[in-house]
Structure 1
């Protein structure tokens, strides 16, 4: 068996909810932004946000 190394990183997910959109952001534990995106508050938007 070949040994493998798994690198882990602590991240924080936040969602700012609004009437027509939700904005999700992921930041590293040290505060560095990693990703952010806005989703419409529709069935398709909710589905996309959680995939």
Structure 2
């Protein structure tokens, strides 16, 4: 399972919030584009 698949699974199950998924981007686990794919929201460094 890739990092993208893992984070997406956690988000879909409700085990990770949007803020937590943003933290995965900040720690370079996933990209901003992958964040958008997972959450359906645009990634912004100011949020």
TM-score range, shorter chain: under 0.3
Q: Normalising to structure 2: TM-score of the pair?
A: 0.26
Could you say which structure has the greater relative contact order, defined with CA pairs below 8 angstroms and 6 or more residues apart? 2
Q: Which has the higher helix share?
A: 2
Larger Rg, first or second structure (1 or 2): 1
Q: Normalising to structure 1: TM-score of the pair?
A: 0.25
Q: Which has the higher strand share?
A: 1
